[in-house]
Structure 1
Amino acid sequence: MEVAKRLEKFQKSRETINNLKDGIINLGRGFPNFDGPEFIKEAAIQAIRDGKNQYARGSGVPELNIAIADRFRKDTGLPIDPDNEVTVTNGCLEAFAATVLGLINPGDEVILFSPLYDSYEGNLAMAGAKIVSIPLQAPNFAIPIQKLKSIVSRSTRAIVINTPHNPTGKMFSLGELNAIASLCIENDVLVFADEVYHKLAFDVEHISIASLPGMFERTVTMNSLAKTFSLTGWKIGWAIAPSHLTWGLRQAHSFITFSNATPLQCAAAVALRAPESYYVELKRDYRAKRAILVEGLKAVGFKVFPPDGTFFVLADHTPFGLENDVAFCEYLLKEVGVLAIPCSVFCLNPEEGKNLVRFVFCKDDETLRVAVERMKEKLRK
């Protein structure tokens, strides 16, 4: 019941976002207000015209599975079997759901780091997992390794990591990943790694935990097309895992969606073969957007925690005197015309996030500047 109430609260915030009045600047929900690259859209149109419009193979269109495996090898150095170790899903959200439903049994203990993306808790609750949450604290949101060591045991089935991290923008360091890996190997624990923002790592190198010694065989690595190519509505995601873990998640996948839109999968294969210059330009553009929002929020009067990755920024709203994050976001929406997300909705214990709000910078530069100017004009400390 407690989980259901928390998720209901988050769902209401989503409904607020989906029903915004005209003139509200949406710096809340993590989708761009600009479109993805033309070459990918043209590839989807061509696939439709070429008659690739029927059910796809359940595990994914072969050319996409190959492209995913090739991209993963370039990023991590790990050779992947595209037929037996790659599963295409309905976005990363379904990759996580299929992983949980396919590999977690009722009563299994799963460790999460809070704040966290809300679907983790919902999916684990559906599987009947025992959820253990470890809070990450501002300003650097470092993993409390000693606390993690005290919790991990033979009763732990899996640890969920998300790097770059939503909503903090934190990048898990090599030291943190090595510590997690050591604990997992010692206690025979799985890792569910959400890496949807891996190409939006600005200041710290992104490292896939699956690439560390002894970790590929116990890791499910999840990703998607959405954030890297600004195509959130396509819902093309995937899970990479050794065959013994892939088997389990595919059993769940076959009864959740079975397969994704065939022409969009064909276009996704084209996207993943984009030249390296695409990713260089992507980071350059997002660094500039990050600077606009971070410096702008500081000028407004927030205490800001600049992210090392993702397109999210957490800011401390307490200088403005509102009771908590929900009250502040309501004021910001109604009186300023800017939407942000209260951080407490990302926390299993809402008290952990009550001083923070989340903004996004996956918007065009002018929208970011206008939002900052509105806050400068109407927010009073």
Structure 2
Amino acid sequence: MALSSDSAVSLEAALPLLSLRSQAIQESQIREASRYCQKFGALNLAQGLPDFAAPEALKAAACAAIREDHNQYCDPWGLEALRVALAEKLQRDNGLTVDPETQITVSCGATEGLNLALMALLNPGDEVLIFEPFYENYLPNLATVGAVPRFLELSPPEWAVTSEMLDQVFSDQLKVVILNTPANPTGKVWNRAELELLAQYCQKYNVYVVTDEIYESIVYEGEHISLLGLPGMQDRTVLVNGFSKTFCVTGWRLGYTVASPKLTAAMRRIHDFLTICAPAPLQHAALAALALGTDYYQQLAADYRRKRDLLFPVLQKIGLNPVLPAGAYYIWTDSSPLAAEANTAAYRLAQEARVAAVPGYCFVRPQRSTVNGLRFCFAKQDSTLTEASERLLQFAGVSS
């Protein structure tokens, strides 16, 4: 028998309150921007997912793995052959010597990897430093473990970090730093001097670092350096990475973590009871990804540089004062020429120009009353970027 509306209301009122963590987490503004793309017929330069195909070798390998019946649970820590291949990749590309048996864990996306690190390191009330603007997921990640975020605002166009700035935020209460390089949404690539400075402070104050390196292969200026490889950081760093961005398979949810044996053992205990293992056939396919060689990575960075250089001057022409990214595949701009606040600017752009970008509010602390920022994703086909450029120029009344 169905409950009457009055009975349903009274039952809901009598139920215990939902958890504080569930109430602390807001819906994703990035996914929301993608949703209103369809409403306005807008081109999606909001969500960080490519609109072009993954490499044929990966797709063929995934299909073959399924046909060969690699469809049951595999080793929760990750397919052994994949962990060995990742260790070889880390040595070749990052100069890191790690044990695939005790230091690498394959996770359900870099997102799970980040959560595993935070769950292994943090207790409710522990303080965590985030560099602002930051990737939207970090605050919900911290809410799930009851940690307290502390923020350090970086300024365009360099997004530089100095000892004077770190003096303001490091303390004996700080437990973890979340580092993202190359960074989403700013495109900042941390240089060696900044990383060495951060390492000094982490050692002085006995702080861990969780470093999100998902865009490591998409660098235009400078070089990608893994903090895990710096002196004194091997036991206090968790490297988080994945296959989504480099190989255009964001829906595969395949990531990995690298850490000391002690940290890895802690994360593996959680991972085993959280997801058991990452998708087994896709782990087999990932071996094909790692076999593509250096030519693939060089071409990847060159293609994204071309796409960046296609969209960037258009954003300049329409007066959004874009910041040229050194890495990743996003461009950060000023939203104030469109509206006084970023959400209105993003909505107006989607409705009137039919181009969707992400408002800057989801990349900054909730306490900030005014945010001037929009993030544009250029991981799109050239034809998509050309059409978006024409729409933006027409919207702004600027000739091409």
TM-score by length of 1: 0.95
Structure 2 letter corresponding to 1:166: N
The aligned runs of 1:148-227 (5 Å cut-off) are 148-227=166-245
**In structure 1, distance between residues paired with 2:370 and 2:74:** 42
Distance 1:217 1:352, change over 3 A: farther
**In structure 2, distance between residues paired with 1:2 and 1:298:** 43
**1:182-215 deviation per Cα after TM superposition (whole angstroms, max 9, x unaligned):** 0111222111000000000111111001111111
Equivalent position to 1:124, from 139, 142, 157: 142
**In structure 2, distance between residues paired with 1:352 and 1:38:** 46
Equivalent position to 2:31, from 14, 24, 28: 14
Equivalent position to 1:334, from 315, 332, 351: 351
Q: Which residue of 2 aligns with 1:324?
A: 341
Greater Cα offset, 49-58 or 158-167: 49-58
**In structure 2, distance between residues paired with 1:179 and 1:367:** 41
TM-score by length of 2: 0.90
The aligned runs of 1:232-243 (5 Å cut-off) are 232-243=250-261
**1:358-380 deviation per Cα after TM superposition (whole angstroms, max 9, x unaligned):** 00000011111111111111136
Greater Cα offset, 105-114 or 285-294: 105-114
Structure 2 letter corresponding to 1:199: S
Distance 1:83 1:166, change over 3 A: same
Structure 2 letter corresponding to 1:194: D
Structure 1 letter corresponding to 2:54: G
Following TM superposition, where does structure 1 have runs of at least 4 consecutive aligned residues deviating by more than 3 angstroms? 1-7, 349-353
Give the secondary-structure state (helix, strand or coil) at the position aligned to 2:375.
strand
The aligned runs of 1:307-318 (5 Å cut-off) are 307-318=325-336
The alpha carbon displacement at 1:154 in A equals 2.7
- Contact 1:91 1:237 (C-alpha < 8 Å) held by counterparts: yes
User: Which entry has the higher C-alpha Rg, 1 or 2?
Assistant: 2
**In structure 2, distance between residues paired with 1:330 and 1:114:** 23
The aligned runs of 1:85-164 (5 Å cut-off) are 85-164=103-182
Q: Which residue of 2 aligns with 1:55?
A: 73
Give the secondary-structure state (helix, strand or coil) at the position aligned to 1:226.
coil
Distance 1:2 1:170, change over 3 A: farther
The alpha carbon displacement at 1:52 in A equals 1.1
Distance 1:184 1:352, change over 3 A: farther
Give the secondary-structure state (helix, strand or coil) at the position aligned to 2:235.
helix
The aligned runs of 1:297-308 (5 Å cut-off) are 297-308=315-326
**In structure 1, distance between residues paired with 2:272 and 2:334:** 43
Q: Which residue of 1 aligns with 2:386?
A: 369
Identity, % of aligned pairs? 36
Structure 1 letter corresponding to 2:244: A
Equivalent position to 1:343, from 360, 384, 388: 360
- Contact 1:165 1:171 (C-alpha < 8 Å) held by counterparts: yes
Aligned residues: 379
**1:229-279 deviation per Cα after TM superposition (whole angstroms, max 9, x unaligned):** 011010100000010111111122122211011110011122112111001
Distance 1:270 1:205, change over 3 A: same
> Does 1:84 find its partner at 2:102?
yes
> Does 1:278 find its partner at 2:296?
yes
Give the secondary-structure state (helix, strand or coil) at the position aligned to 1:121.
helix
Structure 1 letter corresponding to 2:32: E
- Contact 1:344 1:352 (C-alpha < 8 Å) held by counterparts: no
Structure 2 letter corresponding to 1:304: P
**In structure 1, distance between residues paired with 2:193 and 2:103:** 27
- Contact 2:37 2:350 (C-alpha < 8 Å) held by counterparts: no
The alpha carbon displacement at 1:180 in A equals 0.6
Give the secondary-structure state (helix, strand or coil) at the position aligned to 2:210.
strand
> Does 1:249 find its partner at 2:270?
no
Structure 2, unaligned runs of 5 or more: 1-18
Give the secondary-structure state (helix, strand or coil) at the position aligned to 1:158.
strand
Distance 1:352 1:194, change over 3 A: farther
The alpha carbon displacement at 1:114 in A equals 1.2
Equivalent position to 1:36, from 28, 39, 54: 54
The alpha carbon displacement at 1:148 in A equals 1.5
Q: Which residue of 2 aligns with 1:291?
A: 309
Distance 1:65 1:178, change over 3 A: same
- Contact 2:29 2:362 (C-alpha < 8 Å) held by counterparts: no
Distance 1:3 1:170, change over 3 A: farther
**In structure 2, distance between residues paired with 1:73 and 1:352:** 45
**In structure 2, distance between residues paired with 1:182 and 1:161:** 15
The alpha carbon displacement at 1:7 in A equals 4.0
Give the secondary-structure state (helix, strand or coil) at the position aligned to 1:305.
coil
Distance 1:55 1:347, change over 3 A: same
Structure 2 letter corresponding to 1:114: E
Greater Cα offset, 146-155 or 202-211: 146-155
